[in-house]
């Protein structure tokens, strides 16, 4: 489903350590998102890597971009457009285990995150304009409220209006088993 390059753990760790926002590799579990350069509109075409310290644990697919619902019509929520999380940044202790919209187990945002507002309605998720920072509900969750689903969906639609979303529910709940304790750090990279 994704054309994002495959990376080994050494390449990923070297890249995250090179970022200006890098201070340390968390000792506990943390997430790394890689945003596809191809960025096919409304498709789950990104990857999420789970690490414990510098040890690679698992990888799955998802999106780090909003879907077409937000890209084409977010002005009913915010006149400036849908949120696009700023890539090539570390977000230390940004999430804590909780509920997304009170309906599903998720990682909820508890610290500010940097983001752009994409309001040009061209259907492409873009990091353009002013960088904002705040607590705006950028969570990590999956793309169904049905915990028993085994479908791996292709289309984002309204599942991301800025959130980081996994499209493989089996992998998602395996990830959450590791991520239930403490605050979780996140690093988002553009494909390199």
pLDDT at 74: 80
Report the pLDDT averaged over residues 22-49: 96
pLDDT at 53: 98
Q: Give residue-wise pLDDT tens across range 77-123.
A: 789 999 999 999 999 999 999 999 889 999 999 999 999 999 999 99
With cut-offs at 50, 70 and 90, classify the pLDDT of residue 70.
very high
pLDDT at 148: 86
Sheet holding 82-85, edge to edge: 82-85, 113-118, 132-134
Domains of the chain in sequence order: 9-64+84-111+137-190 (2.40.440)
With cut-offs at 50, 70 and 90, classify the pLDDT of residue 1.
low
Q: How far apart are the first and last CA of the chain?
A: 18
Q: What integer best gives the mean pLDDT of the chain?
A: 95
pTM of the model: 0.95
Distance from C-alpha of 79 to C-alpha of 81, rounded to nearest angstrom: 6
Residues in the chain: 192
Distance from C-alpha of 113 to C-alpha of 17, rounded to nearest angstrom: 19
Identify the residue with better confidence: 186 or 73. Answer: 186
Distance from C-alpha of 155 to C-alpha of 66, rounded to nearest angstrom: 11
Distance from C-alpha of 56 to C-alpha of 46, rounded to nearest angstrom: 17
Distance from C-alpha of 156 to C-alpha of 167, rounded to nearest angstrom: 8
CA dihedral of 116, 128, 33, 170, whole degrees rounded to 10: 70
Q: Give residue-wise pLDDT tens across range 110-163.
A: 999 999 999 999 999 999 999 999 999 999 999 998 888 888 999 999 999 999
């Amino acid at each position: 489903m994704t054309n994002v390059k495959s990376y080994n753990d050494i390449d990923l760790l070297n890249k995250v350590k090179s970022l200006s926002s890098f201070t340390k590799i968390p000792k506990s579990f943390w997430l790394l998102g890689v945003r596809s350069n191809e960025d096919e509109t409304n498709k789950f075409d990104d990857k999420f890597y789970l690490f414990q310290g510098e040890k690679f644990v698992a990888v799955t697919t998802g999106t780090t971009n909003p879907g077409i619902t937000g890209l084409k019509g977010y002005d009913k929520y915010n006149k400036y457009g849908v949120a696009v999380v700023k890539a090539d940044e570390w977000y230390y202790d940004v999430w804590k285990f909780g509920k997304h919209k009170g309906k599903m187990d998720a990682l909820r945002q508890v610290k500010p995150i940097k983001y752009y507002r994409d309001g040009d309605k061209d259907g492409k998720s873009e990091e353009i304009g002013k960088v904002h920072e705040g607590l705006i509900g950028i969570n990590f969750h999956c793309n169904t409220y049905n915990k028993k689903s085994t479908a791996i969906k292709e289309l984002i639609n309204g599942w991301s209006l800025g959130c980081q979303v996994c499209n493989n529910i089996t992998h998602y709940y395996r990830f959450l088993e590791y991520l239930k304790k403490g605050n979780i750090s996140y690093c988002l990279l553009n494909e390199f």
